[in-house]
Structure formats: structure tokens, C-alpha cells
Amino acid sequence: MKILFMCVANSARSQLAEGLAKSIFGNKAWVESAGSAPKKVNPFAIQVLKEIGIDISSHHSKSFDDLKPDFTADLNFIITLCAEEVCPAMASKTAQRLHWPFKDPAGQDGTDEEQLERFRHTRELIKKQITAFASEMTK
């Protein structure tokens, strides 16, 4: 199974989802993430996943065009995570499109601790969604 998580910057939500999904699915799925306007992986995303034993420190933000052709061929799922912005639209003849709107934890000001709390909250929401999705897919 091939799963692509997408948002605009590929810096927070889609990176959280990629790291969590790789951990949850293990070798049962090929998981990647991408954005329509990639920026830089948010350090808070790296930190909150590290807190639960998932290392995405080597990840980088990427666009759909940066993904390997053998991954993008015959995608099973494209899951968009945007809430308040326009989500990227990707053409795929094979992929089922799912939309899981999550508010961008990086889109607000605050102290480091306030930002970490937003990222932790988003991590837990995404983790819950992916866990339920994985349970459905492995029935």
C-alpha cells in the first residue's frame, strides 16, 4: 500500500503524519509526504515526534515532483491535511483521496512551550486518525 500525506508547506502536519504512519504501519505501507509549496521541516514537529520515539530529523520538505516515480505510480491514498488553507490537488488515476483537516500548529505565535503544546495536540489528533485508518486497512 502506498500513502501520500499532503499539505502546503510539508513542514508540520504532513511531516507529523509521515513519521507517525511509518511507525504505525511499519513495512505494511510505503509512506511519504509532500507539499505544494515546500518550506523547511518545522523543528517543533521534529521535537514532538522525538518525544514519542520517532526520529524525523533527517526528513526534508519536498514537492510531489521530488518523490520517486516508483512511489507515485499506482498510489493507493492521497491524504490532505489542510484546514484553513487551500489544499494541494494531485492528479492520480489510482489513488483514493481522503481529507483530514487539521489546524496548522505552526500558524500561530506564542512562546516555545505554547507552540510545543499545539504541536503535541496536533500530533495526538493525527496519531488517533492514522491508528483508526490503519485498523481499517489491516482488517
- Tell me the catalytic residues: 7, 82, 87
Nearest to 81 by CA among 117, 126, 38: 126
Burial track 15-54 (b if 16+ CB lie within 10 A, e otherwise): bbbbbbbbbbbeeebbbbbbbbebeebbebbbbbbeeeeb
How many Å is the Cα radius of gyration of the chain?
Answer: 14
Q: Which amino acid is at 46?
A: I
Residue 49 C-alpha cell reads as: 515526534
Distance CA 38, CA 51 (A): 24
Phi-psi region at 10: left, alpha or beta (left = phi > 0; alpha = psi -120 to 50): left
